[in-house]
Amino acid sequence: MCSEQTTNNFTIITLSMGLTQDLKATLKSVNIQDRPVRHILIDGSESEKTRMYCQRYFPAVEFYSQKPDGIYAAMNFGLEMIPGHSWVLFLNEGDFLLGRNAISNLIGNSPSPDYWCFGSTVAFELDTDRREIYGDESFNYKAFRKGKVLIPHPSTAIPARWIKELHGFNPKFRIGADLDLIYRIFSSFGPPRYASHLVTAHQLGGISSTSPFLSKLESLMIRIRNYPLDTIFAFTEKVTKLIRQTGKTLLDGTQAGNVSVHHVDKCKKKNSFPVCCRNKLLGYD
């Protein structure tokens, strides 16, 4: 462990597979937040490079090395170390917070986590112009149950005690366990609050991107399992693609759907958003 645990009401869990530029951007974006954030890093590479990097540059990070056993098993492992009175957000390697006040914009000044909330995230690819915005509208439970809208996990904060009460992520799902958890949270605790801020950037290329068929299949199974009638109605109405959520395309670098773009502080905006912010975090600007 890189340091002793700090006491606050917000925890971020990050999974990684070794020391990469993607991970460095994630670590830096958490480290510069304008409020205390506990950061747990679970690395599956069995390499000492990541641990040594944390010790040198990010000593507040709590580092754990774990043999790979699936991403959701690792997330459940991280949850075991979080007290119930903390929010938790899962920010994986390659994802990063946009600006110093990203977490403050998401949860406001609430002293204790007695609700769950989400903001927007911009999904991007480093080598293409693909940019999509998710979570840029206030919560609509009918559209949510039908699979028409997506609550993006990289910009969603949930009370840890709620996740613990529901026994964490279901490891039976290789890709869709986060969607399954979101549905169970909604069914048990009601709708989330919406923060009209762009909170995170999410780099595409994870398992859901590289295994699209399995991702679509699991998403459909999860919706049928949780909301069978809504799923059937959505199919018959032909109002949505049941097994794939799509975001709104980001047309420029100033407006993301219904929310304004937040750049990392002093970002020179030399590259397309949010790559420009990633470069600033990594010191390329």
Q: What is the pLDDT of residues 172-226, one digit of tens each?
A: 877 788 888 998 999 999 999 999 999 999 998 754 444 555 556 666 566 656 6
pLDDT value at position 236?
43
Handedness of CA 68, 70, 75, 78 (dihedral sign): negative
SS (H, E, C) the chain: CCCCCCCCCEEEEEEECCCCHHHHHHHHHHHCCCCCCEEEEEECCCCHHHHHHHHHHCCCCEEEECCCCCHHHHHHHHHCCCCCCCEEEECCCCCEECCCCHHHHHHCCCCCCCCCEEEEEEEECCCCCCEEEECCCCCCHHHHHCCCCCCCHHHEEEEHHHHHHCCCCCCCCCCCHHHHHHHHHHHHHCCCEEEEEEEEEEECCCHHHHCHHHHHHHHHHHHHHHCHHHHHHHHHHCCCCCCCCCCEECCCCCEECCEECCCCCCCCCCCCCCHHHHHHHHCCC
Q: What's the whole-model pTM score?
A: 0.82
User: What CATH code is assigned to 10-282?
Assistant: 3.90.550.10
CA atoms within 13 A on the CB side of 170: 17
pLDDT value at position 238?
47
Q: Which residue numbers in the chain have pLDDT < 50?
A: 1-7, 207-210, 229, 232-233, 235-245, 251-252
